[in-house]
Amino acid sequence: MALSDILVFTMSAVIFRLVFGTLRVFLPGAGDRWRGWLLLVASILAVYWLQPPLPIRYIDFWLPTLTLLLVFLCWLVTAPREKRFARENLATIGLLVITILATGMTRYLSISGVITPSRPPEIWQVALLLVVVALLVGTLRVFLPGAGLLLRFPRSAATVPGITIFLLLFLFIILKLPALTLAASAGLRGLMGQSGSMANATDLRWLGFSYVAFRLIHTLRDRQTGRLPAVSLREYLVYVIFFPSFTAGPIDRLERFVKDLRQPMGLSSPGQLHPECSDEDFAVAGRRLLMGLFKKFALADGLALVALNAINAPQVQSTGWMWIVLYAYSLQIYLDFSGYTDIAIGLGRLLGIRLPENFNQPYLKPNLTQFWNNWHMTLTQWLRAYFFNPVTRSLRSARRPMPPMTVLFITQVSSMLLIGLWHGITWNFALWGLWHGIGIFAQNRWSDWIRPRVTGLDAHPWFKKGVAAAGTLLTFHYVTLGWVWFALPDLTLAGQVFQRLFGL
Residues 385-427 have pLDDT tens digits of: 999 999 999 888 877 878 889 999 999 999 999 999 999 999 9
For the chain, first and last CA: distance in Å?
Answer: 40
Question: Given this model, what pLDDT does residue 311 score?
Answer: 93
Collapsed DSSP state (helix, strand, coil) of residue 491:
helix
Q: What is the pLDDT of residue 35?
A: 83
Q: Tell me the torsion sign for CA atoms 446, 451, 452, 453.
A: positive
**DSSP H helix total and E strand total for the chain:** 20, 2
Distance, in Å, from the CA atom of 230 to the CA atom of 315, rounded to the nearest integer, reads 57
pLDDT at 466: 85
Tell me: pLDDT of 492 over 50.
yes
**Position 237 pLDDT exceeds 80:** yes
Residue that wins the pLDDT comparison between 238 and 142 = 238
Run of H or E including 187: helix 178-191
Give backbone dihedrals phi and psi of 488, rounded to 5 degrees, phi first.
-120, 110
Rounded distance between C-alpha atoms, residue 39 and residue 154, angstroms: 36
> Which residues have CB under 8 Å from 28's CB, separation 6+?
none
Rounded distance between C-alpha atoms, residue 371 and residue 360, angstroms? 9
Q: What is the mean pLDDT of residues 95-113?
A: 92
Q: Could you tell me the residue ranges of all domains in the chain?
A: 56-262, 284-501
Report the pLDDT value the prediction gives residue 263, as an integer from 0 to 100. 82
User: What is the chain's alpha carbon radius of gyration, rounded to the nearest angstrom?
Assistant: 25
- C-alpha span between 231 and 247 (Å, rounded): 23
Q: Report the alpha-carbon distance of residue 160 to residue 154 in Å, rounded.
A: 9
User: pLDDT digits over 332-376, tens only?
Assistant: 999 999 999 999 999 999 998 999 999 999 999 999 999 999 999
CA 310 remoteness from chain centre: 26
The amino acid at 479:
V
- Nearest partner of 285 among 6, 4, 5, 3, judged by Cα: 6
Q: Which pLDDT score, from 0 to 100, does residue 304 have?
A: 95
Confidence (pLDDT) at 32: 61
CA distance 144 to 156: 16
- In this structure, of 155-169, 251-265, 376-390, 405-419, the range with the lowest mean pLDDT score is 155-169
Q: How far apart are CA 51 and CA 196, in angstroms?
A: 22
Cα–Cα distance, 239 to 40 (Å, whole number): 9
Split at pLDDT 50, 70, 90, the class of 18 is: confident
pLDDT of residue 258: 93
Which positions ≥6 away from 304 have C-beta within 8 Å?
332, 336
Region 151-164: mean pLDDT is 64
Average pLDDT over residues 451-480: 83
Query: Average pLDDT of the chain?
Result: 87
* Side-chain-side CA neighbours of residue 29 (13 Å): 0
Contact present, 70 and 140 (Cβ < 8 Å): no
User: pLDDT tier at 240 (50, 70, 90 boundaries)?
Assistant: very high
**pLDDT class of 265 with cuts at 50, 70, 90:** low
pLDDT of 267-326, one tens digit each? 433 344 444 445 677 888 999 999 999 999 999 999 999 999 999 999 998 999 999 999
- CB environment 460-499: b (16+ within 10 A), e (fewer): eeeeeeeeeeebbeebbebbbbbbbbbbbeeeeebebbee
Residue 279 confidence (pLDDT): 62
Q: What is the pLDDT of residue 144?
A: 41
Query: Residue 323 CB: number of other CB atoms within 10 A?
Result: 16
Q: CA torsion, points 285, 286, 292, 295, in degrees to nearest 10?
A: -150
CA dist 181 and 169 (Å) reads 14
Sheet strands (E) in 125-280: 267-269, 272-273
Stretch among 47-51, 357-361, 397-401, 489-493 having the lowest mean pLDDT: 397-401
> What does residue 155 show for φ and ψ, rounded to 5 degrees?
70, -25
CA distance 71 to 399: 38
Which string of b and e fits 157-174 if b means at least 16 CB within 10 Å? ebebbbebbeebeeebeb
Compute CA distances 153 → 164, 210, 240, whole Å: 13, 27, 24
Residue 72 to residue 92: CA distance in whole angstroms: 10
- The confidence score (pLDDT) of residue 145 equals 38
d(CA 360, CA 374): 5
Q: Is the pLDDT of residue 377 over 60?
A: yes
Instruction: Give the type of residue at 338.
Output: S
Q: How big is the chain, counted in residues?
A: 504
Query: Residues 305, 298: contact at Cβ < 8 Å?
Result: no
The whole-number pLDDT of residue 23 equals 65
